[in-house]
Amino acid sequence: MQVAVETSDMTASLGLKKSLMRECAVRCSARRIVLTVILVVTVRILWLSFFNSWGSSRSAHVSDDTEKNGMLSGLLGTKTGVHKLQNIKNVGLEVRGRSFYLDGKPFRIISGSFHYFRTHPEQWKDRLERMKAAYVNTVTTYIPWNLHERRRREYNFAVDGWDIVRFIKLVYEMKLHLIIRPGPYICAEWDFGGFPSWLLHDPNMVTRTHTYTPYINHVKEYFSHLLPLLAQFTHQRGGPIIAFQVENEFGSSDMCPDQSYLRLLVNLFRSHDINELLFTSDGAKQLPNGTLPDILATVNFNEDAGKQLDKLHLFQPRKPLMVMEFWPGWFDHWGEEHHTMPVAEFNKLVDVIFARNASINFYMFVGGTNFGFWNGANFNKGVTLPTVTSYDYDTLISECGDVHPHKFKAFRKLLKKHGLITESQLLSALPLGPPKQAYGRVKLEQVLTMDSVFKLGGETLTLHDPIFMEFLSVNGNSGQGYGYIVYRAYFRGTVISLKGALHDWAQVFINGLLVKTIDSRKDVPVDIRLTVGSQQAARNTIEILVENMGHTNHAYASRLSNMRKGFQGEVSTDVEKIKNWEHIPLEFDDRFIKAIQHSRDWQSVVNTSRPAQLYRASFFISQDPLDTFLDMSNWGKGIAVVNGFVLGRYWNIGPQQTLYVPWPLLNKGKNEVMVFELKKSDSMFKFTDKPILAS
C-alpha cells in the first residue's frame, strides 16, 4: 500500500510538473511572438523612415530642404554623394513598365552631355556647376578609345590630365548621376569615331562586326582594362554611374544587322561585373537594326518630336520613352555656314518631349573644343567633310562656359511648366559667364623655315614608294595617326606625273618652291601632271606635305578604303620613276614641340609670304590669366600652339575664325604662341575677348 501510495504521489507530482512546463512553454512562446512582432514592426518603421529619406533625396523633384540648400532635383543626398547602409545593396536604375525606377522610386532622367575630353580638366567643375544651375540630374559622356590607348597596349586613363576617374569622382561629389557611353565606337564628331588610328595599320581591318577576329580581340583587350575601372563606380556599388550605352547608333552602320556583335558587347559588360541598365541609341528609322530584344532602345532627333516618340513607342510599347540625343544645335564643317537652332524651335520640341513624360539627354548640353588634331569628319557623297575645331554646338552652355542668352532660361521655364522645378528655382539668378580678356596684338618675333621644321620631324623611314601614314612602322608599330607627313625624294627631269590616293590636303614643293596645292577631300584618285621647267639635271628635290584633316567618324565605308591619310601611289618624271622616298612624320606631339621650342634655327622675321613656316611670338600677362580667343582671321591655314599646347586648326574659309584659349593654358608672366602656317601669314597675332564662330 505504501508503495502504491508513493507511486500515486509520484505520478501526481510528475503530472503537475508537466502541466507547469506546458504553461511555461506557452507563456514563453507568447512572449517570443510578441517580442518578434515588436521587433519586426520596429525594424520596419526604421527601414521605411530610412528609405523615405533616401528616396526623397534622390527624387526627380526638389524637396523643401533641397530648395533651401540650393540643391538640385534627383541628386545624391549626402555630403559625400551617396547614402550607404551596410548589408543593403542599391537596386540601381530599372525599367518597370513605361517608367524608370531608381532604387525602387520613380525617376525621370533629365540629362546633359558633357565631354570631359573637350574641356580643360581645370574647368570641369565650373561646367558641372552650370549644369546644376540648369537643374539637370544626370551627366552623360562618351569615352574615346583613341584618347586612352594612343599606342597599342599602352593604356592611360589619365592622359594629359584627361583623367576619367577624376571626372567620375567629381560628378559624384557634385551629387549628379552619370551615364557612360564607352563605345568602342562613339561617333561624336571625334577622330575616327573614337577608334584608335593604329587599327588602320592592319590593311585588312574591318570594324563594328563580330566577323573580323582581330578587331574583336582589340575590343576585348581594351574593355578588359576600361570596364573593370568603370565597374568600381557603378550605382549599385555606391557610385554615380546608373547606365551604360552599348555601341553607338549601330542601326546606321553598314554592318547592321549584326546581333551577334551587339550580344558580344553586352556579354563583355556583364562578364566584367557591370550589372547596371544597358541601352542602345539610334535614329527612329534605324531602331530595328540597332538593338537587341532585351536591351532598352532610345531615340535621337531634333525635329518632329511627337512622330519620333510615336515610332519609339510602337517599337517597344511596354518600355519608357527616352530621347538619348536631343540636338539643341549642331556642329560645323570647314567651308559651311555656322549652325544654330532658333529658341522657338527649341521650345516647341522640348515641350513635346516633356509633355510625353519622356526622359531626355541634351546632346550637347556643354559645348567644347576639338583640341589638337582630335576633330572628326563626315563622309557625304564621296567627299570628306572635316569638322572645325570649335564644338560650341549652339547649346545651353557654350564652348567657353557662357550660358546661352535664350536657351538656358527657356529650358528652366519648361522644367517649371512641367512641374520639374519650383517657382523659386525658376527665378534663381542665371550663372555669370566666366571672365575673359582681350590681350590685344602680339607682334611676330621669329620664324622657323620649312627645312628646319622638317629636320625636327619624328622617326624618318625611307621606302621604295610613298605609303599612307597609318602603315608606317613608327610609334611602336602603331603607325602615324595625326598631324602632317612629308614625302621627300630626288629626281631628274622637267615633267612630273603624280598618281594615287591622297587624303586630305597637300602642297607639292620642288627645290623648296611651292608648285601645286591639292585639296583632295574628294575620294577620287589624283592624277596630276606638273611641268616644273628647267631644273638641275643631277639632283632635284620633291617634297609632298600632306595634312591629315581628321579621320571620318560617321558614314564611312566599313572596309575603310577611304580612311587612311597621306599619299600612296607612284611619282615619275619624263626621265625616270621616282623612288626611295623619305617619310617624315610631323605629329606635333610633346617631343616634336619641345624640339621646335629649343631649336637653334629660329630667325628674325623678314618674309611672311613663304608657305609652310613656323612663327613665334611672346606676350606677358601681369595678373591671373583669363579666358581669351586667338583671332586667326587674317591668317591662312594651319594650327596654333600656346605654351606647348596645340589649340587646334584654323582655316580662313571659315566659318570659325577664332580659337578658344582656356585660362589654365596661360601663365601669369611670359606666354608663347607658335603657329604652323601653310599658306599666308599676318604680321601679328591678335587676342580678343569674343569668339568668332560665323564668318
Catalytic residues, which ones?
249, 325
**Distances 655 to 278, 315, 333, 520 between C-alpha atoms, Å:** 38, 40, 8, 20
Q: Using CA atoms in the order 117, 120, 121, 124, what is the torsion angle rounded to 10 degrees?
A: -90
The alpha carbon of 491 is separated from its chain's Cα centroid by a whole number of angstroms, namely 46
The answer to whether the Cα torsion of 281, 286, 291, 295 is positive or negative is positive
State the maximum Cα–Cα separation within the chain, in Å, rounded to a whole number: 152
The answer to whether the Cα torsion of 521, 523, 524, 529 is positive or negative is positive
β-pairing, 446-448 with 603-604? antiparallel
The pair phi, psi for residue 237, each rounded to 5°, is -105, 15
What is the spatial distance between Cα 207 and Cα 146, in angstroms, rounded to a whole number? 14
What is the spatial distance between Cα 632 and Cα 40, in angstroms, rounded to a whole number? 73
Contact 560, 205 (CB under 8 A): yes
β-pairing, 368-369 with 390-391? antiparallel
End-to-end CA distance of the chain: 128
- 10-36 in b/e form (b: 16+ CB < 10 A) is eeeeeeeeeeeeeeeeeeeeeeeeeee
Matching residue, cell 582656356: 662
- Indicate the SS3 state at residue 563: coil
- The candidate with the shortest Cα–Cα distance to 302, out of 266, 366, 269, 348, is 348
Strand boundaries in 520-580, DSSP class E = 526-531, 540-547, 552-554, 566-573, 577-578
Cell numbers of 549, please? 584633316
Give the H/E segment covering residue 410: helix 407-417
Question: What's the length of the chain?
Answer: 695
